[in-house]
Amino acid sequence: MVKKVVLWGLVIWLLLSAISPFSAQAQGGLAVLDTSTHTEFPAELSFGITARSNVNITDIRLHYTVDRLSFARVTSEANIEFEPAATIEADWTWDMRRTGGLPPGAGVSYWWTVEDAQGNRVETDPARVQFDDTRYSWESLTEGKVTLYWYKGDNSFARELMVAAQETLNRLAADTGAALEKPVDIYIYADARALQGSLIFPQEWTGGIAFTRFGRIAIGIAPEQLDWGKRAMSHELAHLVVHQMTFNPYTELPTWLNEGLAMYAEGSLEPGYVAILQMAAAEGGLISVRSLSSPFSAHPEQSSLSYAQSYSVIDFLVDGYGQSRMFDLLLTFRDGSGYDAALEEVYGFDMDGLNASWRESLNQPVPPKEKAGMPLELVGASSS
Ligand SMILES: [Zn+2]
């Protein structure tokens, strides 16, 4: 019976503290009366506080953490500048133009600490603010772990994108075993211009962007660009799936694997890429798999060829060795394995071996074994 009373007491206390969030936020004469947030997407996130005491308030700090995948929880602290007084109304603005931005809908947890001249100290309960892009009236559609947000175009536009997203996930699961572990949010802006307006440091070529650690995608798709949009969205979605599956503190994936899986998830290779691949093969200008492990060339022709080849290498591995090996390869990379070691372990060949077998599959002469440490060399270019 006593236990029950204690339990009910606890329930009532919990209810009361849920109703009045500031009940525990007072010590001595010091109390936090109000806190607030204000978002100006994409540039500013502001935090406000009102506190009162019998004596001067001497110290106010904002503590915040950004919700994203990481290995260590990073808490930032902003020291608020103000003239000591018994009642303080203060605010602090996080200027994203100085730090780089956050994706739409990113969550930020925060709490305040306040001290007065008598040594009283109050810490508010943690609260969460979502950095929403409130410039548009978003509609949403959820299926499984995917939520689509859009504001231009009708329901069938969103529906069609959702079907493409689910097809992408099915294709990845069937052919590589990779699947989403956590929910993802996809923000569809009305076009590339609107997307760029949502970024702090937009790049001219940005049509879509995967914020992998946030599980978010932002992409500009005009309703008349639906076919391009489906591919671009599928590509970015695959990056999220693969990132969730292989996230580890030791290594990044080789670029050919990461980009190849994203290209593969889009569907069959587009004719333009097929032509680039065939031409490079005919001219002896294929890039080695080892070179494709590094970030791709910024040169447009080399970049397109790198994407086309990465698709081709993934297609070769999935087609020739099956789903379970690709799944094992991703798991091996999650354990932080090196590039050659992971391939050796799962397929029995290293990157040069992969390069040779893949080239053979394209009826290409097999080049001599590449020396490690020359990752940017073009294999085959000198033999033509
Ligand atoms: Zn990509």
pLDDT for 3 beyond 50: no
**Is residue 330 within 8 Å of residue 178, measured between CB atoms?**
yes
Cα of 131 from ligand 1 centre, angstroms: 25
Using DSSP, how many helices (H) and how many strands (E) does the chain show?
11, 13
Phi, psi dihedral angles at 113 (to 5 degrees):
-125, 135
Cα of 21 from ligand 1 centre, angstroms: 44
Cα of 264 from ligand 1 centre, angstroms: 11
Residue 376 has what pLDDT? 39
* Structure-derived torsion over alpha carbons of residues 360, 366, 369, 373, reported in degrees to the nearest 10: -80
Cα of 237 from ligand 1 centre, angstroms: 9
Cα of 24 from ligand 1 centre, angstroms: 48
Cα of 239 from ligand 1 centre, angstroms: 7
Three-state SS for 286-325 is CCCCCHHHCCCCCCHHHHHHHHHHHHHHHHHHHHHHCHHH
- Which helix H or strand E contains 326, and what residues bound it? helix 323-334
Q: What average pLDDT does this structure show over 285-296?
A: 96
Cα of 236 from ligand 1 centre, angstroms: 6
Cα of 92 from ligand 1 centre, angstroms: 36
Residue 249 has what pLDDT? 87
Q: What average pLDDT does this structure show over 243-257?
A: 94
Residue 93 has what pLDDT? 97
Cα of 210 from ligand 1 centre, angstroms: 8
Cα of 263 from ligand 1 centre, angstroms: 7
Cα of 374 from ligand 1 centre, angstroms: 24
Enumerate residues 6+ apart whose C-beta is below 8 A from 240. 180, 184, 210, 212, 215, 217
Q: What average pLDDT does this structure show over 153-178?
A: 97
Cα of 33 from ligand 1 centre, angstroms: 48
pLDDT band at residue 314 under the 50/70/90 scheme: very high
Cα of 213 from ligand 1 centre, angstroms: 15
Residue 369 has what pLDDT? 67
Which stretch of 77-81, 82-86, 215-219, 366-370 has the lowest confidence by average pLDDT?
A: 366-370
Higher pLDDT among residues 183 and 201, named by residue: 183
Q: What average pLDDT does this structure show over 54-77?
A: 94
pLDDT for 36 beyond 80: yes
Q: What average pLDDT does this structure show over 131-135?
A: 97
Enumerate residues 6+ apart whose C-beta is below 8 A from 327. 176, 177, 178
Higher pLDDT among residues 202 and 162, named by residue: 162
Cα of 281 from ligand 1 centre, angstroms: 23
Dist. CA 224–CA 141, nearest whole Å: 20
Which stretch of 103-112, 246-255, 271-280 has the lowest confidence by average pLDDT?
A: 246-255
**Is residue 49 within 8 Å of residue 113, measured between CB atoms?**
no
Dist. CA 91–CA 82, nearest whole Å: 10
pLDDT band at residue 139 under the 50/70/90 scheme: very high
pLDDT for 194-222, tens place per residue? 999 999 988 767 789 999 999 999 999 99
pLDDT for 374 beyond 80: no
Using CB atoms within 10 Å of the CB of residue 91, give its burial: 0 to 12 exposed, 13 to 18 middle, 19+ buried. middle
pLDDT band at residue 272 under the 50/70/90 scheme: very high
CB-CB neighbours of 324 under 10 Å: 11
pLDDT for 373 beyond 70: no
Cα of 191 from ligand 1 centre, angstroms: 19
Higher pLDDT among residues 234 and 363, named by residue: 234
Cα of 262 from ligand 1 centre, angstroms: 6
Residue 370 has what pLDDT? 57
Q: What average pLDDT does this structure show over 322-331?
A: 97
Cα of 67 from ligand 1 centre, angstroms: 23
pLDDT for 229 beyond 60: yes
pLDDT for 18 beyond 70: no
Cα of 209 from ligand 1 centre, angstroms: 9
Domain locations in the chain? 24-131, 136-247, 250-384
Cα of 288 from ligand 1 centre, angstroms: 19
Domain 24-131, CATH among 2.40.30.40, 2.60.40.10, 2.40.50.140, 3.90.1530.10 = 2.60.40.10
Topology, domain 250-384: Neutral Protease; domain 2 (1.10.390)
Domain 136-247: CATH superfamily, name plus number: Collagenase ColT, N-terminal domain (3.40.30.160)
Residue the block writes with tokens 């290779």: 269
Residue 25 has what pLDDT? 75
Cα of 149 from ligand 1 centre, angstroms: 21
**Is residue 149 within 8 Å of residue 183, measured between CB atoms?**
no
Dist. CA 317–CA 132, nearest whole Å: 41
Cα of 123 from ligand 1 centre, angstroms: 43
Cα of 255 from ligand 1 centre, angstroms: 9
Phi, psi dihedral angles at 329 (to 5 degrees):
-60, -45
pLDDT for 381 beyond 50: no
pLDDT band at residue 2 under the 50/70/90 scheme: very low
Cα of 220 from ligand 1 centre, angstroms: 15
Q: What average pLDDT does this structure show over 122-130?
A: 97
Cα of 43 from ligand 1 centre, angstroms: 26
Radius of gyration of the CA atoms of the chain, in A: 26
Q: What average pLDDT does this structure show over 100-110?
A: 96
How much is the mean pLDDT over the chain?
90
Residue 367 has what pLDDT? 74
Cα of 212 from ligand 1 centre, angstroms: 11
Could you tell me the pTM of the whole model? 0.86
Phi, psi dihedral angles at 335 (to 5 degrees):
-75, 0
pLDDT for 384 beyond 80: no
Q: What average pLDDT does this structure show over 178-207?
A: 91
